[in-house]
A and B are shown apart, each in its own frame.
Chain A
């Protein structure tokens, strides 16, 4: 089995700050995702990447950048943190887009903006 590691687990930022969240997977999966989880709103897709150096926007991409530096890692940047923002950011991976559908999630990064 593999594992998805998200760092940091907890992230506290200031309004307007640029914040970066990191995700590593050792499944050797092709596709990686960033989802945002807000209470009462489920999981919303921010960015995903089908393969190394690929980047695709989800429905919630505004205000974020992402980078797939290598197959095993996918980072997400909050370009300007919003005051009182609180959410959990979940990274996930899957074998490949076309056929395999199961997403394996990391344990999340909990963001608080003061």
Chain B
């Protein structure tokens, strides 16, 4: 099946610094790229997304970048706080038999150290 590669799998940063997570996808027809955050014991929740007609999107300390040529997208968390510690998943939407599927990356466990 289609793959979405996500790196790194583990990321530790100091409080106040930035954190970056990178994902690559295979299908050039993919047109939507969300990011989900899963806190311990919780279900994943959408935090930010970007469509293929954009290269950059920013909201509340989160920046996502999309490079369609390289089939690469990334999440940047500025001024990290302990509350940002969680598992983060990227995803890419692909067409499949007349419908759409979200293919998720394998996740990044982010720990923000005080």
A residues within 8 Å of B by Cβ? 35, 40-45, 48, 50, 56, 58-59, 90, 97-98, 101-103, 105-108
Contacts and interface: CB of A to CB of B under 8 A. Distances in A.
A35 to B, nearest CB: 8
A59 B96 CA distance: 11
Contacts of A98: 100
A35 B89 CA distance: 13
Contacts of B93: 101
Interface in B50-85: none
Nearest to B34: A101
Nearest to B105: A42
A100 B4 CA distance: 21
Interface string B84-110: 000001010100110111111111000
A50 B103 contact: no
Interface string B32-45: 10101000001111
Residue among B34, B42, B93, B102 with max Cβ neighbours from chain A (10 Å)? B102
21 contacts: A35-B104, A40-B106, A40-B107, A42-B6, A42-B89, A42-B106, A43-B44, A43-B89, A44-B104, A45-B103, A50-B99, A56-B97, A56-B99, A59-B103, A90-B43, A90-B44, A97-B100, A101-B49, A101-B102, A102-B46, A102-B49
Given A45-B102, A56-B99, 5 more contacts: A43-B104, A45-B103, A48-B99, A58-B101, A107-B42
Interface residues of B, number: 27
A108 B101 CA distance: 20
A56 B105 contact: no
A56 B96 contact: yes
B98 to A, nearest CB: 9
B35 to A, nearest CB: 12
B19 to A, nearest CB: 18
A37 B99 CA distance: 22
